[in-house]
């Protein structure tokens, strides 16, 4: 339903409301999903279609204009929608992950649905409708690098959701700087949920980590170049958020130290302009 239906409203139906037969067979026998696996492209109606068109996210110092906050939330909502679909993909792709893991994915997926709706409601209040701007395929571009359960959690949870721990810190601070406490509160709620999501991913990761290699080495072994650990953090890094999510001191340090050829390309002057 989430992958096979092109309609946004179907992608937002809570799993407790899905029509499932005995043993939740729907999860693995979704005909639409079978069709989907042949293409790796989720169905999307024209108003929410993904594209390669560029859409710039407003600079932090420009969040004094409500419309710019709305456009930023449009970006975040797009990430949430992709996360909803990719969790649905993961649930179908890894049916043998174990009941606990699958249930964790379902819960994360439902919280992504809630995040999407909180962002959408707020962006509407600020004069922006979902689909007004191009929707990129940031997460879906990495689907080929998520073909095992361990790689799935390394890319989705430890990298994308991990980096979101940094971005939520940055945006919460920037919005408080500009006095938009209502949006800052939404971002804080998302941050608290994302800590749980990263923890769920980390549990899968820890369970599969071989005894003879450390967590950082294992993490690197799951990533396929040019996807590097740089993608697991924002342009500002908040190590305390990773400690909270349960990573080892060693991992948190190594991630902080990590650089690749793209490190340093981000202009950090915006951060100073909003007091970060
Ligand atoms: Fe989320
Ligand atoms: Fe998440």
Query: Where are the domains positioned within the chain?
Result: 64-263
pLDDT, the chain, mean? 92
pLDDT exceeds cutoff 90 at 135 = yes
CA of 115 to the centre of ligand 1 (A): 5
CA of 138 to the centre of ligand 1 (A): 14
CA of 2 to the centre of ligand 2 (A): 16
Q: Which ligand is nearest to the CA of 190?
A: 1
Per the CB < 8 A criterion, the answer to whether 194 and 159 are in contact is no
CA of 211 to the centre of ligand 1 (A): 32
DSSP 133: S
pLDDT exceeds cutoff 50 at 87 = yes
Q: Which ligand is nearest to the CA of 118?
A: 1
CA of 191 to the centre of ligand 1 (A): 8
Backbone angles phi, psi at 50, to 5 degrees: -85, 150
Distance CA 202, CA 91 (A): 17
CA of 205 to the centre of ligand 1 (A): 19
pLDDT at residue 117, rounded to an integer: 98
Q: Mean pLDDT, to the nearest integer, of 268-272?
A: 88
CA of 193 to the centre of ligand 2 (A): 7
CA of 154 to the centre of ligand 1 (A): 16
Q: Residues of the chain with pLDDT > 70: what percent?
A: 92
pLDDT exceeds cutoff 70 at 269 = yes
Query: Does 276 or 37 have the greater pLDDT score?
Result: 276
pLDDT at residue 28, rounded to an integer: 45
pLDDT tens-digit map of 29-58: 455 556 666 677 898 999 999 999 989 999
pLDDT at residue 26, rounded to an integer: 46
CA of 232 to the centre of ligand 2 (A): 13
Backbone angles phi, psi at 54, to 5 degrees: -80, 140
Q: Which ligand is nearest to the CA of 189?
A: 1
Query: Does 65 or 265 have the greater pLDDT score?
Result: 65
pLDDT exceeds cutoff 80 at 24 = no
pLDDT exceeds cutoff 60 at 178 = yes
Q: Mean pLDDT, to the nearest integer, of 163-171?
A: 98
pLDDT at residue 23, rounded to an integer: 52
- Torsion angle, alpha carbons of 66, 170, 142, 224, to 10: 160
pLDDT exceeds cutoff 50 at 25 = no
Q: Which ligand is nearest to the CA of 76?
A: 1
CA of 164 to the centre of ligand 2 (A): 8
- Torsion angle, alpha carbons of 64, 66, 72, 74, to 10: 180
Query: Does 262 or 209 have the greater pLDDT score?
Result: 209
pLDDT at residue 244, rounded to an integer: 98
Q: Which ligand is nearest to the CA of 196?
A: 2
């Amino acid at each position: 339903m989430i992958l096979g239906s092109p309609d946004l409203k179907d992608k937002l139906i809570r799993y407790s409301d899905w029509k499932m037969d005995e043993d939740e067979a729907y999860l693995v026998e979704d005909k639409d999903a079978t069709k989907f696996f042949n293409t790796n492209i989720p169905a999307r109606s024209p108003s929410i279609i993904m594209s390669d068109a560029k859409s710039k996210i407003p600079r932090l110092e420009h969040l004094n204009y409500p419309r710019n906050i709305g456009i930023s939330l449009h970006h975040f909502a797009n990430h949430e929608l992709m996360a909803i679909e990719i969790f649905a993909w993961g649930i179908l792709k890894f049916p043998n992950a174990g009941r606990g893991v699958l249930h964790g994915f379902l819960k994360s997926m439902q919280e992504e649905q809630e995040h999407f709706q909180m962002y959408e409601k707020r962006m509407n209040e600020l004069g922006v409708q979902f689909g007004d701007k191009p929707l990129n395929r940031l997460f879906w571009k990495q689907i080929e690098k998520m073909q095992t359960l361990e790689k799935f959690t390394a890319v989705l949870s430890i990298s994308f959701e991990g980096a979101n721990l940094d971005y939520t810190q940055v945006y919460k601070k920037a919005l408080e700087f500009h006095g938009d406490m209502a949006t800052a509160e939404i971002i804080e709620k998302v941050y608290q949920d994302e800590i749980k999501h990263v923890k769920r991913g980390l549990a899968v990761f820890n369970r599969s980590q071989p005894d003879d290699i450390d967590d950082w080495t294992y993490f690197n072994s799951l990533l396929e170049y040019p996807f590097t650990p740089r993608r697991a953090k924002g342009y500002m890094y908040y190590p305390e958020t990773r400690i909270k999510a349960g990573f080892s001191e060693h991992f948190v340090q190594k991630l902080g130290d990590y650089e690749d050829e793209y490190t340093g390309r981000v202009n950090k002057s915006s951060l100073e302009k909003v007091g970060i």
